[in-house]
Amino acid sequence: MLALASGVLALGGLVTPARAQFRQPPPVVRVEAAPSVSAQMPAWREDVARHVYAAYAPHIYRGQLPAWMHAVAVTETDVDADGRVLDVRLTREPAAAKDVGPWVVGMIRQLGQLPAPRGLRGDVAQGGAQVPQQDTVYTWVDIWLVDKSGRFQLDSLTEGQQRP
């Protein structure tokens, strides 16, 4: 019985450090969200991912990801014509690391502003001027590939994954 309790305590000690970094989102570095002139959704998605990488630079996993990921999450983020974050949804929650989902959503919400989708906007010409359609909502979808260290890559900018 004592051996079992010791084993559980030892296992608990191994799990806690890997999960502690997901209790709250890391601090965000405030970087200006320069408007995106990309006219295609995949290119805008990359512009948004670059902005996320700049804001969370210390938390980006550099190089190829390990063969086995700690967590994979899919998010959908609605933004207005100016790039303001309106809503964040977790459309695929990590299977085992349930604490990573809220951590990712919190990171996106902390940003508050993403690159405005200027190239995607259905701007309407009025009197020779381009007037953005302000009521349009744009959705940024990305896959978050998260290592147990708390570092991550986004699918739109991933450097690939090592073979097992």
pLDDT in tens, 21-40: 788 888 888 888 999 998 89
pLDDT in tens, 106-128: 999 999 999 999 888 655 444 54
* Domain map (residue ranges) of the chain: 33-62+69-157
Q: What is the C-alpha separation between 149 and 19, in angstroms, rounded? A: 9
Question: At 6, is the pLDDT very low, low, confident or very high (cuts 50, 70, 90)?
Answer: very low
Position 24 scores a pLDDT of 81
- Mean pLDDT over 66-88 rounds to 96
In the predicted model, is pLDDT for residue 20 greater than 80?
Answer: no
In the predicted model, is pLDDT for residue 13 greater than 60?
Answer: no
- Mean pLDDT over 72-90 rounds to 97
Position 119 scores a pLDDT of 86
CATH number among 3.40.1130, 1.10.3210, 3.30.1150, 1.10.287, domain 33-62+69-157 = 3.30.1150
CA of residue 56 relative to chain centroid, distance: 10
Full-model pTM: 0.80
